[in-house]
């Protein structure tokens, strides 16, 4: 299988993760102009699962390092498969809340609040599993991101709202998303050994990154039949979504947009996992969740979600971006030898 050993390459992959995680929601914005986000989500989950299979049978089965995907499946223990599946289920609940929050409050709010909070929680929980990097630099970066979240919330208060209940619901969903989103990565990381010790007897049964990613995506896909179905029957906003609309209102373009969204997100997830051994999982996760800044950029400058904001909102947004950049710089430097 293909593995990453260089820290600079790992950081570059984490930057790709940041771009992918911050950009996939554009596909949701495009698709939900024509149908509800719950219908988009079926294709999103399918795209994520397909991407992990493509990576498993290509990058995960090439080269002389580690074990190939099929060999790894044969030796995998149920305990570690379970960790990866649980990670997928937790992520799925959090992501459903995120896409609902995007639908209600927009990318420029849902991402900085939800994913910014997930960064803070995720770095702390993942650092407990894999304590790599300088803790002072790492958590100073996390603190900057936490302040950026508060600044974004202050900026959002300057948008005139015709429905206060809807505004509050969008923020509440973002916060709940962040709390759950900060938990899933530690389970996926716990399913894998350090790659330079993958053949050690004490690591028997643990998964390679490609196998862990497949079971993560499988957990995401299968749990959608419960979680997304429930959200279709009782939406956060609006009327219930009939299952038949997936076939009646969907067309090839809409389905492909959803599948593309899932693939874009899963490229980011795959790169974060593959970079984690060289960079440390706390750092790869934290840097990848710089996606908040990317998504806020899309929301502010492309989708114009703050065009009706009251004066001084632009200054708060500029401060938010600056704090995110400073925080991400600290996170990158935390593991430079």
Closest CA to 135 of 337, 323, 330: 330
CA angle centred on 114, ends 305 and 218, rounded to 5°:
115
- Cα distances from 129 to residues 132, 211, 281, 302, 314, in angstroms, run 9, 19, 8, 38, 39
| Per-residue pLDDT, 199 | 79
| Per-residue pLDDT, 161 | 59
| Per-residue pLDDT, 122 | 86
Q: What is the residue-level pLDDT of the chain in tens, covering all 337 positions?
A: 898 989 899 999 999 999 999 899 899 889 988 899 999 999 999 999 999 999 999 999 998 877 899 999 999 999 999 999 999 999 999 999 988 888 887 777 787 788 878 888 888 888 887 787 899 999 999 899 888 878 877 787 777 754 445 567 888 898 999 999 989 998 998 999 988 788 788 888 999 999 999 999 999 999 999 999 999 999 988 899 999 999 999 999 999 999 999 999 999 999 999 998 888 888 888 888 778 778 888 888 888 877 877 778 889 989 988 998 898 889 888 877 5
Model confidence, pTM: 0.86
Closest CA to 206 of 66, 2, 62, 91: 66
DSSP 222-286: HHHHHHHHHHHHS-SSSS---TTHHHHT--HHHHHHHHHHHHHHHHHHHHHHHHHHHH-HHHHHH
| Per-residue pLDDT, 162 | 45
Quickly count: other Cβ atoms within 10 Å of residue 247's Cβ. Answer: 8
Look up residue 11 and give its two tokens: 């950081």
Residue recorded with tokens 């990866």: 84
């Amino acid at each position: 299988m293909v593995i990453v050993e260089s820290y600079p390459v790992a950081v570059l992959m984490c930057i790709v993760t940041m771009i992918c995680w911050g950009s996939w929601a554009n596909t949701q914005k495009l698709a939900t102009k024509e149908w509800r986000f719950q219908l988009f989500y079926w294709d999103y989950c399918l795209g994520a699962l397909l991407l992990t299979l493509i990576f498993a049978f290509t990058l995960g089965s090439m080269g002389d390092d580690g074990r190939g995907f099929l060999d790894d499946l044969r030796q995998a223990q149920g305990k570690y498969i379970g960790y990866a599946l649980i990670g997928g289920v937790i992520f799925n609940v959090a992501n459903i809340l995120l896409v609902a929050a995007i639908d209600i409050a927009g990318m420029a709010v849902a991402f900085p609040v939800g994913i910014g909070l997930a960064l803070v929680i995720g770095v702390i929980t993942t650092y407990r599993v894999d304590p790599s990097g300088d803790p002072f630099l790492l958590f100073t970066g996390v603190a900057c991101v936490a302040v950026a979240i508060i600044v974004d919330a202050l900026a959002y208060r300057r948008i005139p709202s015709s429905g206060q209940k809807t505004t509050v619901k969008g923020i509440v969903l973002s916060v709940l998303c962040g709390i759950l989103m900060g938990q899933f990565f530690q389970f996926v990381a716990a399913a894998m050994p350090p790659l330079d010790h993958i053949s050690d007897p004490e690591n028997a049964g643990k998964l390679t990154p490609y196998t862990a990613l497949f079971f993560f995506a499988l957990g995401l896909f299968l749990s959608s039949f419960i979680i997304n179905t429930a959200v279709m029957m009782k939406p956060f906003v609006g009327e219930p979504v009939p299952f038949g609309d997936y076939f009646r209102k969907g067309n090839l373009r809409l389905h492909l947009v959803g599948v593309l969204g899932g693939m874009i997100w899963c490229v980011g997830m795959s790169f974060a996992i593959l970079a984690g051994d060289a960079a440390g999982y706390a750092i790869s996760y934290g840097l990848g969740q710089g996606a908040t800044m990317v998504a806020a950029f899309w929301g502010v400058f492309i989708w114009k979600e703050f065009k009706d904001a009251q004066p001084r909102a632009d200054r708060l947004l500029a401060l938010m971006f600056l704090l995110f950049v400073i925080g991400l710089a600290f996170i990158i430097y935390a593991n430079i030898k």
